Each structure stands twice: as C-alpha cells, then as structure tokens.
Amino acid sequence: MTGFARSLRLWFAPGRIGDEGETPDYRFSLANERTFLAWIRTALALVGGGFAVDQFLPDLRWGVRIGLSVALLAAGALCALRAVNHWVRCELAMRRGEDLPVSGFPTLLSLAVGLVAVVMLIIVLLGRAG
C-alpha cells in the first residue's frame, strides 16, 4: 500500500517521474503506453456495458438492472484509475532498472466479469422460462 501512496503522490507532481533514475529505451515507454491504452479500452468497454445493461434490458427488475449497471460502471472507473497507477509504477520501475510490478488486478477483474456474465446468463434463461 505504501507503493500506492508513493505513486499517488507522483500523480500530482509529474515532474518527479523524470527525476527518478534514467530515461529507458523509448520503445519500452511506448509499450507501457500501449498497455495503458489497452486497459483504458477495457475500462471504456465496461462503462459501455453498464450503459448497455441500462438501455437494452428494460424488462429486468429495476433493482437488478441498476445493480448490474452500477457494478459494471464502478468496475470501469476502477479499471481506469488502476490503469494510470500501473502505468506510473511500470514507468518508475523501468527508470530505476527494477523488476516490473506484479498485480492481482487482472485476476480480480476477470473473476468479476465472469460473475457478471453468469448472472446475466441466469437472468436471460429465467426470463425465457418464465
């Protein structure tokens, strides 16, 4: 958690990234940027999914629809913030010549998305049956 606090400080003092260590090969920075953008697209897809649940499933009960929608939107927002945090940590690690940070977030996110998918499947099947 101290690592998170440190990188959070860096968010608000961007000049300090450049103070750390030495500039890595530009290709590594660009690869890190593309990974960041892939996470942002994941976040945007989750936010879009939240919109889609709210707009295209009007037959769901209000609570279920809003619950699913808010869960997807929250996951999207979390994913976007975490994308910046991870990008900063990777950039710092590369500048200092350390190992890249590992993270359990991808596992967590895939479990959450899988859970939402199963819930949706059950809802659709029950809707057909009922």
Partner 1 sequence: MPASAAGPADPVPDRDPGLQPERTRLAWRRTTLACTVVAVLAARQAIRGGGTAAASVAVAVVALVWLGFLAVAHRRVRALDTVRPRALPLSGAVATAVCTVLLALCAVAVMR
Q: Which of 69, 71, 46 is nearest to 57 (CA)?
A: 69
* 48 sits near partner 1 (criterion: CB under 8 A): yes
Among 9, 51, 98, 103, binds partner 1 (CB under 8 A): 51
Among 4, 8, 9, 23, binds partner 1 (CB under 8 A): 23
Among 60, 76, 89, 109, binds partner 1 (CB under 8 A): 76
Nearby residues of 85 by Cβ (< 8 Å), 6 or more positions away: 4, 7, 8
* 68 sits near partner 1 (criterion: CB under 8 A): no
DSSP state of 12: T
Among 20, 21, 54, 67, binds partner 1 (CB under 8 A): 54
Got the DSSP string for 14-31?
THHHHHSS-PPPHHHHHH
Alpha helix segments (H runs only) across 1-130 = 2-11, 15-19, 26-56, 62-96, 105-129
What residues make contact with partner 1 under the rule CB under 8 A? 10-11, 14, 17, 23, 26-27, 29-34, 36-38, 40-41, 43-45, 47-48, 50-52, 54-55, 66, 69-70, 73-74, 76-77, 80-81, 83-84, 87-88, 91
